[in-house]
Amino acid sequence: MDEKLSKVDPKLLELLVCPFTKGTLVFDRERNELVSENARLAYPIRDGVPIMLISEARKIED
């Protein structure tokens, strides 16, 4: 497993919310991103840092 995947602080993940909906996020370990199911957006985690910018989020298509 990539070292970067395991570097995110679990306490930080509990505190973060989607900047668009203010709803909860789900950590997708396989893609190394935080997913807002309500907003249908996935926020990347780079070098252990969640990038919580809507402009950087990947749109989740059905």
Please write the tens of the pLDDT for every residue from 5-59: 457 788 888 899 999 999 999 999 999 999 999 999 999 999 989 999 999 999 9
Reported pTM = 0.84
Residue 4 three-state SS: helix
Find the DSSP H helices in 1-62: 10-15
Read off the CATH number of the domain in which 29 is found.
Answer: 2.20.25.10
Do residues 25 and 17 lie in contact, with contact meaning Cβ atoms separated by under 8 Å? yes
Instruction: Say if residue 35 is exposed, middle or buried (CB neighbours under 10 Å; 0-12, 13-18, 19+).
Output: buried
Per-residue confidence (pLDDT) for residue 8, from 0 to 100: 78
Per-residue confidence (pLDDT) for residue 13, from 0 to 100: 84
Domain coverage including residue 12:
3-59
Query: Which residues, including other chains, have CB under 8 Å from residue 10's CB and lie 6 or more apart?
Result: none
Per-residue confidence (pLDDT) for residue 20, from 0 to 100: 97
Number of domains observed in the structure of the chain = 1
